[in-house]
Amino acid sequence: MKVYIETYGCAAAQGDAAIMEGILLQRGYEIVGDTDKADVVVIVTCIVVDATQQRMISRIKKFNEMGKKIVVAECMASALPHVVKKIAPHAMLLPPRYIHHIVDVIEGKRDFIEKPKVLLPRKIGIRLNIPIAEGCLYNCSYCITKIARGKLLSFQMEGIVEDVKKAIEKGCKEIRLTTQDTASYGIDIGKSLPELINEIASIEGEFRIRVGMMHPSSAYRIFDELMEAYENEKVYKFLHLPLQSASPKILRAMRRGYSYEQFKEIVHAFRKKFSHSTFATDIIVAFPGESEQDFNETMEAIKELQPDITNVTRFSPRPYTEAAKLKKLPTQVAKQRSRITSEIALKISYERNKKLIGKTFQALFLEKRGEWTIGKTDGYKSVYAKNATIGEFAMVKITNAKLTHVEGIVE
Ligand code: SF4
């Protein structure tokens, strides 16, 4: 049987898609790149904001009109099953915790059991997203991911390490540890993220480990051991810590559970320890009740923290969340604040990139885009080079700066 997989969403969803593809191939299914040729269409859904939800709805409608057998997998299947059933009554639902049942759902079986996502077949490329847990410890007032993925469930460390070993043996060069909050990994099984990083870093071979997004409160709790684990040269000096807002009033309304002062402490300590590093953050603008003063507090924070990467999102009320009951700010205000935040963020990123010109760093090159080969330095800075080789580590001299990356020449 021929299966077409269309994947949306975060690194965790990408990691789950790699598992579903691995299982399908192992069970003799053929993966095709074109819906017309497919007997079954699998859509790996994301509903983090309304815009993506609308995209999912239009894709599912399209596949339904084509008369395809449809599997709706991941967050929409668990958080909004009724929305799916309304547009495609025969669609089969596969929530995040049951993706290992991909063949069963296609074959019409329904008795699913939950199972940690380890020691499962995966599609392995030069880069691999490895989900290390499911769900999280928090209850942010705007978040539908918590509704879709539930409470924290960490996967066994031995299984994760075994899967990474297999991936490295098959030529994978970049391991991305991913879940909603990597820093709370292991709390429920007596393990910790630093332990997991150390175990993976001790695997033979030349590869890099990218540690995914952390909730600031969880990162704060394990910070010292985490920074020790980051000292290993296999670990990218990359910290992804969503601030969302710097206003105490808005952080309370979001139920984020940390203060800007605590957040700042982590970032400054990380930067002090690793001079060549990348700090990424996320900002939600126009959260209900965000006054001009609250917004300016967040802009001042960005100027103070100088993030290398700032992901800006306009507040989007999500079904079944507390924040969805609150009065939305006018769209015009949201658009304006999003534009201002992106302008400030890109200016900062460009200024920081310019400071790297003339310097030389080790980088791992993983992707081709036109005449450029794209890599990541050990400080996780995106570097474009014309004379680099995919899959290779090389010393690269930075020759030019762009808004979101640098250019260089392999020496
Ligand atoms: S930490 Fe907050 S925003 Fe992140 S998945 Fe959990 S509830 Fe959602």
- Residue 59 reports pLDDT greater than 90: yes
Mean pLDDT of 14-25: 97
267 C-alpha to ligand 1 centroid (Å): 20
Q: Output the average pLDDT for the chain.
A: 97
Mean pLDDT of 208-227: 98
- Residue 111 reports pLDDT greater than 90: no
- Residue 316 reports pLDDT greater than 90: yes
Kindly state if the Cβ of 138 falls inside 6 Å of ligand 1: yes
- Residue 116 reports pLDDT greater than 90: no
pLDDT recorded at residue 61? 97
AA letter at 238: F
Higher pLDDT, 306 or 109: 306
pLDDT recorded at residue 109? 87
* Residue minimizing CA distance to atom 4 of ligand 1: 180
Atom of ligand 1 nearest to the CA of 149: 5
- Residue 375 reports pLDDT greater than 90: yes
Length of the chain: 411
Closest by CA position to 213, among listed 48, 350, 35: 48
* Structural domain harbouring 275: 237-354
- Same domain membership, residue 330 and residue 247: yes
Q: Is residue 111 part of a domain?
A: no
Kindly state if the Cβ of 139 falls inside 6 Å of ligand 1: yes
- Same domain membership, residue 165 and residue 91: no
Kindly state if the Cβ of 140 falls inside 6 Å of ligand 1: yes
pLDDT recorded at residue 137? 97
3-state secondary structure labels for all residues of the chain: CEEEEEECCCHHHHHHHHHHHHHHHHCCCEECCCHHHCCEEEEEECCCCHHHHHHHHHHHHHHHHCCCEEEEEEHHHHHCHHHHHHHCCCCEEECHHHHHHHHHHHCCCCCCCCCCCCCCCCCCCCEEEEECEECECCCCCCCCHHHHHCECEECCHHHHHHHHHHHHHCCCCEEEEECCCHHHCCCCCCCCHHHHHHHHHCCCCCCEEEECCCCHHHHHHCHHHHHHHHCCCCECCEEECCCECCCHHHHHHHCCCCCHHHHHHHHHHHHHHCCCCEEEEEEEECCCCCCHHHHHHHHHHHHHHCCCEEEEEECCCCCCCHHHHCCCCCHHHHHHHHHHHHHHHHHHHHHHHHCCCCCEEEEEEEEEECCEEEEEECCCCEEEECCCCCCCEEEEEEEEECCCCEEEEEC
User: Which CATH number goes with the domain that contains 176?
Assistant: 3.30.750.210
Mean pLDDT of 124-149: 97
Mean pLDDT of 323-342: 98
- Same domain membership, residue 317 and residue 267: yes
pLDDT recorded at residue 65? 97
- Same domain membership, residue 308 and residue 228: no
Please state, in angstroms and as integers, the Cα–Cα distance from residue 51 to each residue in 172, 232, 293, 316, following that order. Answer: 33, 39, 27, 8
- Same domain membership, residue 99 and residue 208: no
Percent of the chain predicted with pLDDT > 70: 100
> Which of 232, 267, 292 is at the close of a domain?
232
Kindly state if the Cβ of 145 falls inside 6 Å of ligand 1: yes
Mean pLDDT of 160-165: 98
Contacts of 173 (CB under 8 A, 6+ apart): 126, 127, 206, 207, 208, 364, 366, 391
In the chain, the N- to C-terminal Cα span, in Å, equals 48
User: Which CATH number goes with the domain that contains 41?
Assistant: 3.40.50.12160
